[in-house]
């Protein structure tokens, strides 16, 4: 490694879970040699693609397209779209907002890079503050965002067995407390990678605890309500002055357009606007243009409830059934599937590491994500992460059947050899 490169820059030259995931996505693009059960790319849902194609035709027809591609927008986001988002959230969630509470970003990853580094790291008062995750496993991408890499900390989840071959992670409130040097607390709902949905009671407790400490609480709604609403049960979305909500257009089918939405206090929004101005000048307005009319009419709510959510609910049931068929006879657990489009599998006592299993499966043409990348504990000594993998079910039924069969064969092979 070039020793003249900055410490910050050197972090991006090594291995990371996010880099692995995106490299795998690039490798399988246009290839028939892999079954991709690993990546976080949403499914191609024909009904949604048709809706967005029609929206693009409307944009082209009224010459809005030329304005979008030919002019810079505000670094806070297109002003008319900010008003549309404000009215949409106020109408559907009952929130009292103005456009000063909303900023548009180049996707959720960008949103969290800005927020994590606003609240985490060495602060102007001389205190080094951390971003605290109330439980892990959590989103793989959080681990690569902080300029000060040691400033992401996490608490270990409590495991509860909930039925035959099923389990669920929960916040261990007997141990959890908002750390004195926490710049912010953050969680995703539903959680990527497990499909876990923190209960309303858990969320309300986090809102209360962070509020008492005056610590921002960041909620990642990339898979949650009100869009794409890949949540199997109804949930309430909390609103408080110290709560920051992040939304995304990716999982409704616009992943390639990289559009994120942040809802926060005006001071935070001003900071995001300034960072956008410095790093990218302006925000790509194509995603906003394609969804604007759907927000105004509330059609996006109907599409998410009647098209997107049922699509993934059926896929979840199918994937679990396939695993049950092929994993019969060995010890395994599946995290209760409550949202998103992943299954999280735990193989207690797995005789090889998750990384070794990943490599063996890749050699057989199947991609998964090793579980240990989702645990953000420093010097983690827990064996549990090495016994877990994440599998995406946002694939065709045929790909799921073929890929899960190979995953099950490989797990069985190493488990039987060890007995």
CA distance 308 to 287: 18
Q: Estimate to the nearest angstrom the gap between the alpha carbon of 270 and the chain centroid.
A: 24
Report pLDDT digits (tens) over 273-298.
999 999 999 998 999 999 999 999 99
pLDDT at position 28: 62
> Does the pLDDT of residue 37 top 60, yes or no?
yes
Report pLDDT digits (tens) over 138-176.
999 998 899 888 899 999 999 999 988 999 999 999 999
Label residue 20 by pLDDT band (50, 70, 90). low
Label residue 135 by pLDDT band (50, 70, 90). very high
HEC profile of 351-410: CCCHHHHHHHHHHCCEECEEHHHHCCCCCCCCCHHHHEEEEECCCCHHHHHHHHHHHHHH
pLDDT at position 381: 75
pLDDT at position 1: 61
Label residue 418 by pLDDT band (50, 70, 90). low
Percent pLDDT > 90 in the chain is 81
State the CB neighbour count (10 A cutoff) for residue 395. Answer: 23
CA distance 318 to 329: 19
Report pLDDT digits (tens) over 357-407.
999 999 999 999 999 999 987 666 789 999 999 999 999 999 999 999 999
Report pLDDT digits (tens) over 183-228.
999 999 999 999 999 999 999 999 999 999 999 999 999 999 999 9
Q: Are 185 and 164 in contact (CB under 8 A)?
A: no
Report pLDDT digits (tens) over 41-92.
899 999 999 999 999 999 998 878 888 888 889 999 999 999 999 999 999 9
Report pLDDT digits (tens) over 225-248.
999 999 999 999 999 999 999 999
> Does the pLDDT of residue 21 top 70, yes or no?
no
For each of the domains in the chain, give its residue range(s) and CATH number, in order of start.
Answer: 7-48+302-414 (3.90.1150.10), 66-298 (3.40.640.10)
């Amino acid at each position: 490694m070039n020793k003249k490169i900055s410490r910050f820059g050197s972090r991006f030259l090594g291995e990371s879970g996010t880099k692995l995931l995106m490299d795998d996505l690039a490798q399988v693009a246009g290839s028939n040699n892999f079954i991709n059960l690993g990546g976080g790319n949403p499914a191609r849902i024909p009904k949604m693609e048709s809706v967005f194609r029609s929206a693009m035709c409307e944009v082209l027809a009224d010459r809005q397209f030329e304005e979008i591609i030919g002019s810079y927008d505000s670094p806070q986001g297109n002003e008319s779209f900010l008003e549309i988002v404000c009215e949409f959230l106020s109408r559907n969630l009952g929130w009292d907002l103005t456009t000063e509470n909303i900023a548009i970003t180049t996707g959720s990853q960008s949103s969290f890079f800005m927020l994590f580094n606003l609240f985490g790291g060495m602060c102007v008062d001389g205190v080094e503050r951390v971003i605290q995750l109330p439980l892990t496993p959590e989103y793989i991408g959080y681990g690569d965002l902080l300029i000060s890499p040691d400033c992401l900390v996490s608490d270990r989840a409590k495991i509860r067995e909930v039925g035959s071959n099923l389990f669920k992670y929960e916040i261990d409130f007997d141990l959890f407390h908002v750390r004195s040097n926490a710049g912010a607390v953050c969680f995703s709902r539903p959680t990527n990678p497990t499909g876990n949905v923190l209960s309303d009671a858990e969320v309300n407790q986090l809102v209360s605890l962070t509020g008492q400490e005056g610590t921002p609480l960041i909620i990642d709604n990339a898979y949650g309500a009100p869009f794409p609403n890949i949540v199997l049960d109804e949930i309430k979305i909390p609103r408080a002055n110290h709560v920051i909500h992040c939304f995304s257009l990716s999982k409704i089918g616009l992943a390639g357009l990289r559009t994120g939405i942040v809802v926060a206090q005006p001071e935070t929004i001003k900071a995001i606007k300034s960072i956008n101005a410095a790093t990218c000048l302006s925000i790509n307005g194509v995603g906003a243009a394609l969804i604007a009319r759907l927000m105004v009419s509330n059609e996006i709510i109907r599409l998410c409830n009647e098209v997107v959510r049922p699509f993934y609910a059926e896929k979840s049931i199918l994937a679990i059934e396939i695993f049950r068929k092929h994993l019969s006879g060995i010890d395994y657990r599946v995290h209760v599937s409550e949202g998103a489009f992943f299954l999280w599998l735990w193989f207690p006592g797995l005789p090889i590491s998750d990384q070794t299993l990943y490599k063996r499966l890749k050699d057989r043409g199947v991609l998964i994500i090793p579980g240990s990348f989702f645990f953000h504990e420093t010097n983690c000594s827990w064996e549990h992460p090495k016994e877990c993998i994440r599998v995406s079910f946002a694939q065709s039924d045929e790909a799921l059947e073929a890929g899960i069969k190979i995953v099950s064969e490989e797990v069985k092979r190493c488990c039987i050899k060890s007995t």
